[in-house]
Structure formats: C-alpha cells, structure tokens
C-alpha cells in the first residue's frame, strides 16, 4: 500500500499493480494495509464466492465496533448473518419499481433546481463534483429524510455540512478504518468512532422528529422514511435511523461519482454528447418525462453503463469466510488453497472492468459496448458496478433512476463544454479512496437554443 499511503497512486491503481503482476493466476495474496486478503482475479471464481457458495461468504468485512458506531453496524450495509437476512427481507419491498415511481417526482424537482442554478451560472467554470454532490445530498435529504433542502442556494446548510464530511472518504480516513478494523476489541475499549457522538445524535433527532410529526399529524410522504415506517417490522428508533443513515451514506458516493464522471466524459466526447442530446430531445418532444419514459433512453443507458465500467465507485466486493472453504488451484499445477473462518476475500470490480482480456481498449470511453448489438459480447461477471449475489446493492434501481434523471435534464437543457480547466485525459485523485477526478471536474454549461 506504499503508493496509496503516500498518495502516489489511487487505491484502485495500487490494486491494479497486484492484479496485473500475476496474469496467469486465478487469485493472489494482497496486503490491504495490515490485513492479508485473497484478491480474486477470475470472474467465475468471484461468481462462485458471491452467489453459488454464498453461505460460506455471507458477511462483509467487519470494520466497525457496534458499541461506538451503532448507526453503521446496524445498517444493512454492515449487518451480519441472520440479522442481515431479516433486514434485507424487510427492506426489499421498499426498493421495487412501483416504490421508485412514487419517489420519481422528487428527482424531477431536484433536477429543475439544478437547471435553474446553471441558467444563472452559464459563463462560469462549474465544479461538477460539487454540483453532483450537492444534488445527490438534496435528493437523499428529500427522499430519505423528508427534508426540503436546496444546497445550491443554501450552500452551508447543516445537513450538507454533516453528511458531506461523513461521505468524503480520504485516504487518511481509510487508513484509520483499516487500523481500527484490525483492533476491534481495542476500538471498543478506547471508544474510537468513525464519527463524533453529535453526528449520531443529529441523525437520531432528524428521524425522531419526522416520525413523531407524521404520526401526530397523520402525514404521509413518498419517501424512504415513509416506506420504512410502513413495513411490518417494529423498529427501534436507532434501527430505523440506521437504515435511513445507510441509504444516505452508501447512496451518495455511487450516484454523485457516476454523474460527475459522465459529465466529464461527455465534455471530452462532444459527438457522444450530441447523440445523447438528440435522443433526450426526441423523448421530451413526444411526451412529458415520466418514470416509464426513462426506459426509452437506450443510448443514455449505454453512456451510464460505460461510465460505471470505467469509473465504478464500488472498487471491490469484500467477503469474510464464515466456514472452512477450499479454493481451487490458483493456476495449472498449483495446489488448492484452504480459507479459514475470518479470512478475507476481495472480488475486485474496477480492475476487472479495466481488464483488456474482457474489455478491448479499456481506457477508451465507448458506450457502444452496451448497445443491443454488442452487449451479448460482455462476459458474465465482468460488469458488476453494483456488486452481485444476495448482497448486491439493494438501492440499485434508486441510484440508476437518480443518475438518469439528472443527466437527462442537464443534457436536454445545456451543452456541456470543455474548458481550460477540464482535465484530459481524466485521471484519478490519489488523495481519496472515493473515485474522484485528479484536479477536479470542471466544465461550462451553455444553454441550448
């Protein structure tokens, strides 16, 4: 982890070095700071681990102690064993297509706020990372907590300040997480938390106030909190807050990263942008945009998928071995390797997405890879931006709807223009574990006539 620790390379690029060093192996040893990991190179072995033999690998890596990080540990993202299965079953109905349709108007309202803001700032270099981050937080505040916020106008509101600080995962934070995860008992004794107690109380108070108000006034709202309140489960306040908190913590990075990287790529590829615009214009002229009409934007789907291929926020699927498991030989002539309970496995995402064996000319931004004519060429388990198996991202539908709605309204109303501050080629910022552009993503938005 030398290059990552000293910010010479992004974490993904450090993992890429280990991945590329052993081209004939199905898996290799990898040190994630002080933690030994099996890094799986074979997509079919990843499928075996995350789907077929899921009972051996049902848990993610244990990063936090519940005593000092209850909102994280009680969330679906980090729950383990039977508690995770029960919570997954409880939450799944909240993310169906019919439920997403109810939340869609929130996405449209947020997109209209962005259009208004950009109309007033056409001549400026816009920080797309900041724009997508604020937009994503506004969507989460509204669809998760029932809060009406416009972070583009009220730039220092409390919700934005608290959540953006939590979700902005620097290498320094990642190193702290890696250290505390290897010393969980000591973490409990010392009370080392990923965030301060006032942040825990901030989210508890938001949810408690919203729940109390809705019950007292008999108010219903099409948002995630309402959907959770309507499930049959009897929630404790902390359990309920943990799920909305998880929705906030896990959902922001994926959507904001994909939006900012897509806009950056479209600025670098005006011919692709023009084709997307013509498709968006045709759909907008034919009818009012609805949740159903989003499905007609096939080329925009290709652009989003290609962005997710090149710049996935997920990085890897981590799994903890729960019972003794024998991996097949790593290469011809080698011996099998036995995993013991507690051993950690990473099934990488980004480096598979950049493997030239599966994706010819992998650094090229080419949405045609996902066209109807070409998508049959994609080998199974080589495109997994939201993970796979029973622990696949439960909010995938929500994230894709948010990303697609945002890009539709932006591209329909503005031409995305490359400027002197738009980095080309696009590279990763090694100061963050999150996927961010080196030197940021800056473009200009020109109103379309």
CA distance 27 to 38: 7
| pLDDT at residue 191, as a whole number | 64
Check residue 432 and give its pLDDT.
Answer: 86
pLDDT interval class at 30 (50, 70, 90): very high
Domain ranges of the chain: 1-62+315-348, 73-312+364-444
Give pLDDT, residue 243.
85
Class (C level, CATH) for 1-62+315-348 = alpha beta
What would the mean pLDDT of 284-308 be, rounded to a whole number? Answer: 91
Confidence of residue 441 (pLDDT cuts 50, 70, 90): very high
Query: Are the beta carbons of 182 and 35 closer than 8 angstroms?
Result: yes
Residue 334 phi, psi (nearest 5): -85, 170
Question: Where does residue 390 rank: exposed (0-12), middle (13-18), buried (19+ CB within 10 A)?
Answer: middle
What the block records as the tokens of 3 is 């290059």
CB atoms within 10 A of CB 178: 16
Helix axes of 128-145 and 237-268: crossing angle, nearest 10 degrees: 150
pLDDT digit string, tens, across residues 94-115: 888 888 898 899 899 999 999 9
Task: Decide if pLDDT at 164 tops 80.
Answer: no
Q: What does the block give as tokens for 87?
A: 């919570």
On the question of pLDDT at 373 being above 70, the answer is yes
The stretch 422-435 carries a mean pLDDT of 91
Q: What is the mean pLDDT of residues 207-235?
A: 84
Q: Which residue has the tokens 């109380």?
A: 201
Check whether 358 has a pLDDT greater than 70. yes
- How far apart CA 330 and CA 335 sit, in angstroms, is 7
Which of 43-52, 90-99, 129-138, 265-274 has the lowest average pLDDT?
90-99
Tokens of 5: 């620790």
What is the average pLDDT across 348-371? 97
pLDDT tens digits for 322-340? 999 999 999 999 999 999 9
Minimum mean pLDDT among 16-20, 208-212, 249-253, 401-405: which range? 249-253
Q: In what order do the strands lie in the sheet with 126-127?
A: 126-127, 442-447, 414-417
Average predicted confidence (pLDDT) for the chain: 89
Mean pLDDT of 16-41: 94
Residues written for the chain: 449
Is 304 a residue whose pLDDT tops 80?
yes
Q: What is the mean pLDDT of residues 207-223?
A: 86
pLDDT exceeds 90 at position 118? yes
Residue 184 has pLDDT above 80, yes or no: no
Q: Which of 98, 71, 393 is nearest to 258 (CA)?
A: 393
Calculate the alpha carbon distances from 7 to 64, 237, 390, 426 in Å.
Answer: 25, 40, 34, 17
Q: What percent of the chain has pLDDT over 70?
A: 94
Show the CA angle centred on residue 384, arms to residues 381 and 388, nearest 5°.
80
Task: Indicate the range of 139-153, 241-255, 284-298, 407-421 predicted with least confidence.
Answer: 241-255
Residues with Cβ within 8 Å of residue 358, at least 6 apart in sequence: 43, 352, 378, 379, 382
Q: Give the integer Cα–Cα distance in Å for 161 and 434.
A: 18
Are 49 and 42 in contact, with CB atoms under 8 Å apart?
no
**Mean pLDDT value across residues 120-144:** 89
| HEC letters along 253-266 | HHHHHHHHHHHHHH
pLDDT value at position 321? Answer: 97
Query: In the structure, what pLDDT confidence band is assigned to residue 196 with cuts at 50, 70 and 90?
Result: low
The C-alpha atoms of residue 248 and residue 99 are separated, in whole angstroms, by: 17
Strands (E), 249-394: 316-320, 325-327, 337-339, 344-348
Supply the pLDDT for residue 230: 81
Quote the tokens at residue 213. Answer: 């108000």
Domain 73-312+364-444: CATH architecture, name and number where available: Orthogonal Bundle (1.10)
Enter the pTM of the model: 0.93
Rounded to a whole number of angstroms, the CA Rg of the chain reads: 22
Q: Residue 343's closest CA among 73, 39, 18, 128?
A: 39
Q: pLDDT, tens digit, for every residue of 251-277? A: 777 889 999 999 999 999 999 999 999
Helix intervals (H) in 149-236: 158-167, 171-181, 184-190, 197-217, 224-229
Q: Which helix (H) or strand (E) holds 415?
A: strand 414-417
């Amino acid at each position: 982890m030398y290059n990552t620790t000293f910010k010479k390379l992004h974490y993904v690029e450090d993992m890429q070095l280990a991945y590329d060093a052993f081209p004939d192996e199905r898996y290799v040893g990898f040190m994630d700071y002080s933690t030994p990991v099996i890094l799986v190179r074979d997509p079919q072995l990843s499928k075996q681990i995350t789907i077929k033999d899921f009972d051996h690998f049902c848990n993610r890596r244990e990063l936090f102690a519940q005593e000092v990080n209850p909102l994280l540990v009680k969330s679906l993202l980090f729950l383990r064993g039977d508690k995770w299965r029960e919570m997954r079953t409880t939450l799944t109905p909240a993310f169906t297509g019919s439920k997403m349709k109810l939340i869609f108007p929130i996405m449209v309202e947020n997109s209209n706020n962005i259009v208004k803001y950009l109309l007033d700032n056409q001549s400026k270099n816009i920080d797309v990372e900041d724009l997508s981050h604020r937009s994503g937080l506004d969507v989460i505040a509204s669809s998760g907590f029932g809060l009406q916020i416009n972070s583009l106008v009220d730039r220092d509101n409390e919700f934005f300040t608290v959540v953006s600080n939590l979700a902005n995962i620097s290498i320094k934070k990642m190193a702290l997480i890696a250290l505390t995860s290897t010393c969980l008992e000591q973490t409990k004794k010392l009370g080392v938390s990923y965030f301060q107690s006032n942040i825990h109380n901030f989210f508890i108070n938001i949810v408690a106030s919203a729940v109390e108000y809705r019950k007292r006034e008999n108010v219903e709202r099409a948002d995630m909190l309402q959907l959770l309140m309507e499930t049959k489960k009897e929630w404790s306040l902390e359990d309920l807050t943990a799920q909305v908190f998880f929705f906030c913590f896990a959902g922001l990075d994926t959507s904001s990263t994909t939006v900012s990287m897509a806009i950056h790529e479209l600025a670098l590829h005006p011919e692709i942008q023009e084709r997307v615009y013509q498709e968006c214009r045709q759909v907008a002229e034919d009818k009012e945009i609805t949740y159903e009409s989003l499905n007609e934007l096939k080329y925009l789907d290709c652009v989003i998928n290609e962005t997710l291929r090149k710049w996935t926020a997920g990085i890897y699927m981590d799994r903890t071995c729960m019972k003794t498991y024998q991996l097949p030989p790593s290469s011809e002539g080698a011996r099998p390797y036995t995993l013991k309970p507690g051993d950690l496995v990473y099934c990488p995402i980004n480096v598979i997405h950049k493997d030239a064996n599966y994706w010819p000319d992998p650094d090229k931004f080419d949405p045609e890879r996902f066209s109807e004519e070409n998508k049959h060429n994609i080998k199974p388990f080589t495109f997994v931006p939201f993970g796979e198996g029973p622990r696949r991202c439960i909010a995938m539908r929500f994230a894709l709807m948010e990303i697609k709605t945002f890009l539709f309204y932006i591209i329909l109303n503005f031409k995305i223009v490359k400027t002197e501050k738009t980095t080309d080629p696009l590279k990763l910022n090694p100061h963050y574990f999150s996927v961010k552009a080196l030197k940021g993503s800056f473009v200009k938005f020109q109103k379309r006539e």
